[in-house]
Structure 1
Amino acid sequence: MVLDYFSKISSVPRGSKNNKAISDFLVDFARERGLRYYQDSAYNVVIYKDASEGYENCPPLILQGHMDMVCEKTTDSKHDFFTDPIDIVIENNIIRAKDTTLGADDGIAVAYMLSILADDSLVHPPLEMLITSDEEIGMLGAIELDKDCLTGRHMINIDSEDEGIFVCACAGGIRTHFSWDIQRAPARGIGVKLEISGLKGGHSGTDIDKNRSNAVMLAGRLLTYLSAVDFSIIDITGGNKDNVIPNECSVQLCIKPSDYDSFFSEYNKYSELIINELKSSEPGLEMTTSALDDTAVESDYMALSKDMKEKLVKLFNILPNGVHTMSADICGMVESSSNLGIMRTEDDYIKVCVSVRSQKQSYIDYICKRLSVIADMLDATFDTAFGYPGWDIKPESDFRDMLCSVYRDVTGKEPEVTSIHAGLEGGVFYEKMPDMDIVSIGPNVRNVHTVNEYADIASVKRVYEYLRCVVESFAEKYR
């Protein structure tokens, strides 16, 4: 039944910002079965099902997922995400899509919810099936949702991608920006381009504790080492997204001919030092140089002032980057971090973007305060944008204990209770409804947001049977 509903969902184009058709599909599903529903202007949908006879006094159970999907395709694909259904392929016990993302993130959750709603043999409490819009572009539907459309305070989010792992907390975060208005000055010398490449990079949340070097911070370290030599900075460019650890950075410099040899003597010494230092953690690291004008001749450039150069070097040395604190509740889990994700020098301004994350809003505020102080010290403008809330783990939870107990009974295995150092919709719901008890689960889905995305069919079926048992156990426990 689950795969049948997933196939039906996949026939409806549902990329982010294109939610109306799938939202209306869900409303039609509810109408056809005589179920109450709620649909808002953001195209969020809640479908309600009354409790089984004898279970009317149970509190409602909320299942939740998002309707939208990331739309990626191969370079030679002719697929139109606004009109074409996803071309599903089932083979070797996996389900994937031909030449596109599959949308199991989070279409599988929607298929689970429709399957449970359609199963009249299932003993169940009052059910509230919440399907949100535009999760993939900033959890916009969850942010717009009117909390009064939900009466339940026990939620199972089905947007995790590892069977047997129960996510019970997530980080909140905010984007921060440093900027300087600049006036460039003429500089004469030999133009040199330094390039750092081959780093692993990664997600600035889930990979921040994996000892991944930040290419922009490495460039700053190199410039610090080279400060004894007289040079001017023309450009520094690194990173494209604040939530990604930069794996490349390029620096353009103007070096006086009299300092050219001493510059490269220092550069060779320190680049070799850094490469040797990181040979185990970053074996692909490359640090190269080239002439800006193809020949190492003296030319005229427009460079940053000496004062601005010194401010940037200071920034690289005092900016906190990486893990700040570890969780005291979940062993090995990052609690707070920051990541310099973007560095740009334009003709008349410089910008630096730093992503800040924490499970605790108080620590997000503290890190932002530290960054603001650094900005003041360096005469930079500092601002923040696109904050999203975290959700902290409940030290004790009967609901979580019940979910774990049912999992042990059904599978004979112990679930892993953990947190994720990234944003989830649970954080938005927790901010709106602090008394909400939330656990996030899901089947094995791999390579999400890529054309190689697939779901393990056996895992999809196991998690569905587990969910059915949870619904019945919840009804019995809270009857």
Structure 2
Amino acid sequence: MNDHLLTLAPEPVWRHFRTLCNTPRPSGHEAQLVEVLERWADEKGLAHDRDSYGNLRIRRAASPGRESVPGIVLQGHLDMVTQANADHPHDFLNDPLETYVENGWLYARGTTLGADNGLGVAAALAILEADDIETGPVEALFTLEEETSLQGALSLDEDWLEGRYLLNLDSEDRGEVYIGCAGGADVVVDADLPMRGCDDEEVMRQIALTGLVGGHSGADIHKELGNANQLLVRALRALGELEIRLVDYRGGTLRNALPREAFATIAIDEHHLPALELRLAEQQALYREELAGVDDNVTLTVAPAATSCEEAEALTDTATQLLVAALHAAPYGVERMSVEVPGVVETSNNLGVVSLENGRFHLCALVRSLRDSATQNLADRFAALFGLIGAQTRVENAYPGWTPSADSTLLTRFRRLHQELIGEDPAVEVIHAGLECGIIGGKYPQLEMISFGPVIRGAHSPTERTELASVEEFWKVLKALVADIGSGKAA
């Protein structure tokens, strides 16, 4: 499968990426890939081990005479976001991805591509086997469950890694190098809400909001893309005069992906059905006007529900009103831009996953910030808001940010090589996303770190794609950087 990847350049990177595309690797299900990589390491005579959580390390010994050169850690995560279009069923636990090239870009048919962070992993594997460069000691660290919880990095053993420089290969733009990132936390809200049976004249309908682009909840949060949960709740709020009652709700699948679709089942007096259709049509027209140029295909539809009033209950009138009001008032999107780093988002929130089933309400939002205090403050606002409807809020999977260091010798070396090879100085950036560098740096404060990678667009959505030419540039710079550090010469 995906044999066409073997015809692309650079061949070593695409050969390893083909292995990743052919090996299922959702978060929490990386075991098969770990075993594949361990067998490959054995074939190449490379040492490998796992830490207590299961993170994988593969080591390349120093070239003769380079044993005293400071070591390098190449770092990436093995898991990928698993998103598929509704009309493209895909079993991410068993099926390989189906990739194709179009106009100089690589895509996966109907699903996420897994270039995030598969290309970084593939490049690290290619460095481990490269026989045309001399290096000091090289460790490739492959972490688990980055996309869902960062738990691999959070659980990383201390006193395990030996290198001095860490190259995180999980960035997504040509000509940029990252030296800092946001921290974050999951805000989880749960509540049991009262329900009652249907009135005689009530019928059930399902309202669907679909057609959004989606994207990365950090890197794309400032692009004013639509959020399916926020938009559907806004539509429900606009139906208030029709006295609807919520039966169930599901919107979004991952807290770190902008939700592309959301669905709500409502109970409504059948006499209000014509007004319901009219209101939704008006709301759709409004959304398309507001989102023109970023989410032109936003669509609101209504259809008979799969269940009937005889088979299910709905929230009480008051519970519906309070829940819709709380969700409508919930923070989402960019909260504040950074003053210290102009043009960078400081604090944001993604209203990522919302569900209601049999009266059980659940919400998981991902709060990010360059300031840990701002992360806590936004989480507390959720607790204050949803506490008004009797919900319980907790904060999980909190992780620190990565404080920028603009004068590191590693950055100096990277900028020099980038100028020599690409012909221009790279832009030095801070990213509003949860790179693992902050967590790893907290455990290994001696590490100097940078993050860079090829061009990836639409990460965390089925439009994910990578520019082939940028992969060649990425490989050229990475290979030169590893060799330059391995030379033992000053930056």
TM-score, normalising length from structure 2? 0.77
Question: How much has 1:380 moved relative to structure 2?
Answer: 0.9
Which of residues 366, 375, 383 in structure 1 aligns to 2:386?
375
Aligned-residue offset at 1:2? 5.8
- Alignment-derived partner of residue 246 in structure 2: 234
**Is 1:153 matched up with 2:161?**
no
Specify the SS of the correspondent of 2:222: coil
Letter in 1 for 2:11: L
Contact persistence 2:210–2:299 (CA under 8 A): yes
Change (3 A) 1:294 1:71: closer
Cα distance in 2 between the residues matched to 1:316 and 1:185: 21
Aligned to 1:28: 42
Q: Percent identity?
A: 26
Among 6, 11, 15, which residue is 1:7 paired with? 15
Q: Is 1:221–2:234 an aligned residue pair?
A: yes
- Matched residues in 2 for 1:193 and 1:446: separation? 36
Matched letter for residue 7 of structure 1? R
Equivalent residue number for residue 130 of structure 1: 141
Matched, 1:418 2:429: yes
Partners of 2:98 and 2:229 lie apart in 1 by: 40
Separation in 1 of the partners of 2:454 and 2:218? 21
Mapping of 1:445-464 within 5 angstroms? 458-464=469-475
Task: Please state whether the residue corresponding to 1:344 is helix, strand or coil.
Answer: strand
- Residues 95-134 of structure 1: CA deviation (Å, up to 9, x unaligned): 8889998765555445544554455664544433323345
Task: Name the SS for the 1:160 alignment partner.
Answer: coil
Compare 56-65 and 9-18 and name the one that shifted more. Answer: 9-18
Report deviation, 1:28. 1.5
- Cα distance 1:238–1:136, how it changes in 2: closer, same or farther (>3 A)? closer
Q: Does 2:46 match 1:19? A: no
- The counterpart of 1:175, out of the listed 158, 175, 186, is 186
**Structure 1 counterpart SS, 2:224:** coil
User: What's 2:5 paired with?
Assistant: none
Does structure 1 conserve the Cα–Cα contact (< 8 Å) formed by 2:348 and 2:367?
Answer: yes
1:188-337 equivalences in 2 (<5 Å): 188=199, 189-191=201-203, 193=205, 195=207, 197-203=209-215, 204-227=217-240, 229=241, 231-241=243-253, 242-243=255-256, 244-255=258-269, 260=272, 267=279, 271=283, 274-275=286-287, 278=290, 280=292, 282-289=295-302, 302-337=313-348
C-alpha change, 1:336 and 1:78, in structure 2 (3 Å) is closer
Q: Which amino acid aligns with 1:200?
A: L
TM-score normalised by L of structure 1: 0.78
C-alpha contact 1:19 1:68 (8 A) present in aligned 2:
no
Matches of 1:175 and 1:61, distance apart in 2: 32
What letter corresponds to residue 175 of structure 1 in structure 2?
D
User: Which blocks of at least 5 consecutive residues in structure 2 are unaligned?
Assistant: 1-8
CA RMSD of aligned residues (A): 4.5
Cα displacement (A) at 1:409: 1.4
Shift of 1:407: 0.2
Q: How many residues align?
A: 469
SS in 1 for 2:36: helix
Q: For 1:321-361, what per-residue CA distance to the aligned partner results, in whole angstroms no more than 9, with x for missing partners? A: 11112233443222221122233332232223322222333
Mapped partners of 2:467, 2:60: distance in 1 = 29
How far the C-alpha of 1:397 sits from its partner, in A, is 2.9
Match among 55, 58, 73 for residue 62 of structure 1? 73
Work out the CA distance in 1 between the residues paired with 2:198 and 2:94: 51
Q: Which of these two proteins has the greater Rg computed from alpha carbons?
A: 1
Render the CA deviation track for 1:255-296: whole Å, top value 9, x for unaligned. Answer: 485xx499669947963783475263543334445566999x
Secondary structure of 1:146 counterpart? coil
> Contact 1:38 / 1:149 at 8 angstroms: preserved in 2?
no
